[in-house]
Amino acid sequence: MHTNRGTIYPKSVVNAAGVWADVIADMAGDRTFTIHPRVGTNLVTDKKAGWMVHTSMGKTPFTLTPRQLEDIAPGPVAFVKATLAAAHSHSKGIALIHAVDGNMLVGPHADEVPDREDLSTNAEAVARILASQQEVQPQLKASDVIAYFTGVRSPTYEEDFVVRRGIRCHNIFEAGGIQSPGLTAAPAIAVDIARWVVEYLQESQDVPVNPTFDPVRHCGPVLRELPLEERDRLIRQSPAYGEIVCRCEEISRGEIEDALRSPLPVYTVDAVKRRVRPGMGRCQGSFCLPSVMRIIAEESGLPLEQVVKHRSDAQIVFGPTK
Ligand SMILES: Cc1cc2nc3c(=O)[nH]c(=O)nc-3n(C[C@H](O)[C@H](O)[C@H](O)COP(=O)(O)OP(=O)(O)OC[C@H]3O[C@@H](n4cnc5c(N)ncnc54)[C@H](O)[C@@H]3O)c2cc1C
């Protein structure tokens, strides 16, 4: 198998290649399904708009006015606008969804596209999504939206998952056509595939259980969720938790350092953003980006010019101006 890190000779291959899973299956002689890409854009709102949809049992990460509380409690987790189009499609339709961090997601739409890697957002789709949900929640404003993201779903023409052992090659295991609800189904799919891989390998070798494997992901403290006394204790122990880097999301230097010192550190701005949220707030990183980059440079030993957004050709700075 030729990869961008040289040629490897794996004993088994798990094909979980998303929108390219049919092409990988084809390499093993197993082209029994074809993926047709379907994009969906989600709009992310400011946390201040999160009250519009919420869970009455969950905690809200900001203080509601008594009037707002009166208006909303108890509230739904999501509003789904059931349209005729949604009823006949393979998507749940466009919805207002309260995200766990307090923002609201508005979307996603579902459009068939020719390009499997087209992650562009377009004004027409954004306007369409917003307008459809303003019918559901008239208080939703365009100014509540702080970011847009587009993802590509990977449906097959059967609109079903392809989770199986290889047909022609016995050492390939397929997880193709994993469109929505693929994220929800991923843990269950992984259990089946892991079992099949072990069974296959056991035909020719011992497969001992790794006694040091820890299935629990341990994360550091999340400052904004701690009571004041707990924050105080933490900051006395380690002053880096008292240095707020991202003011919108209340993320401290200590939390960013924890992410960069984890067993699997990734030294890019987007990776740090996904793990601990600096840059996810209203200003979208306008204030904290230089500080985050400096912390990554210090922790990784990389020069500042090599601290990239998400991949090596996404350079952010090119050198000092003075
Ligand atoms: C708009 C939208 C809304 C969704 N809503 C929901 C929802 O509400 N609930 C839900 O459960 N799911 C939802 N999903 C679906 C969910 O996000 C996907 O099912 C899930 O992310 C698929 O995971 P995956 O690991 O199969 O594929 P991916 O996450 O696409 O991962 C595939 C990986 O393979 C890599 N790759 C591809 N080809 C190669 C190659 N040749 N060599 C090396 N690497 C390769 C890619 O770079 C990528 O990292 C939604 C998806 C979208 C786009």
Residue 321 lies in a domain: no
The C-alpha atoms of residue 8 and residue 67 are separated, in whole angstroms, by: 62
Residue 293 CA to residue 300 CA, distance in Å, equals 10
Cα gap 278→289, rounded to integer Å:
8
- 1: Cβ below 6 Å to ligand 1? no
Task: Kindly state whether residue 212 falls inside one of the protein's structural domains.
Answer: no
Do residues 27 and 161 both lie within one domain?
A: yes
CA–CA–CA angle 148, 154, 158 (5° rounding): 140
In a domain, 297, yes or no: yes
**What does DSSP say about strands 172-176 and 2-3: parallel, antiparallel, or unpaired?**
unpaired
Q: Which atom of ligand 1 is nearest to the CA of 183?
A: 11
Residues 16 and 58 in one domain: no
- Whether 153 lines ligand 1, by a CB cut-off of 6 Å, is yes
In a domain, 322, yes or no: no
Residue nearest to atom 19 of ligand 1 (CA): 182
Are 42 and 149 in a shared domain? yes
31 and 42 part of one domain: no
Contacting residues for 99 by C-beta, under 8 A, at least 6 apart = 44, 50, 105
Between the CA of 175 and the centroid of ligand 1 the distance, in Å, is 11
Instruction: Specify the residue with its C-alpha closest to ligand 1, atom 47.
Output: 17
Q: Which two tokens stand for residue 227?
A: 């009571």
Q: Are residues 116 and 44 in the same domain?
A: yes
222 vs 213: CA distance, rounded Å: 25
Of 283, 273, 269, residue with least CA distance to 316: 269
pLDDT of residue 321: 87
In a domain, 251, yes or no: yes
Residue 142 lies in a domain: yes
Profile the chain (322 residues) by mean pLDDT over runs of 10 residues. 89 97 96 96 93 59 44 50 50 82 92 95 96 91 96 96 96 96 95 97 96 88 95 97 96 97 92 96 95 98 96 93 84
pLDDT of residue 54: 65
CA 263 – CA 252 distance, rounded (Å): 20
CATH code of the domain covering residue 266? 1.10.10.1100
* Same domain, yes or no: 237 and 268: yes
The rounded Å distance from CA 298 to ligand 1 centre is 32
Give yes or no: residues 26 and 44 share one domain.
no
**22 and 162 in one domain?**
yes
The range of the structural domain enclosing residue 261 comes to: 223-306
The finding on whether 183 has its CB within 6 A of some atom of ligand 1 is yes
- Segments of 219-264 assigned E as strands: 244-246, 251-252
The finding on whether 155 has its CB within 6 A of some atom of ligand 1 is: no
Overall domain count for the chain: 3
Residues 103 and 10 in one domain: no
In a domain? residue 217:
no
Ligand 1 atom 44 nearest Cα: 17
Q: How far apart are CA 24 and CA 31, in angstroms?
A: 8
Assess if residue 207 is contained within a domain: no
The reply to whether 164 and 29 lie within a common domain is yes
189 and 103 housed in the same domain: no
- Other Cβ atoms less than 10 A from the Cβ of 212: the count is 4
CATH number at 81 reads 3.30.9.10
Calculate how far, in angstroms, residue 153's C-alpha sits from the geometric centre of ligand 1.
7
From the list 279, 276, 269, 268, the residue with the least C-alpha distance to 246 is: 279
| C-alpha 96 to ligand 1 mean position (Å) | 21
45, 57 in Cβ contact below 8 A?
no
State in Å: Cα 18 to ligand 1 middle: 5
Residues 125 and 98 reside in one and the same domain: yes
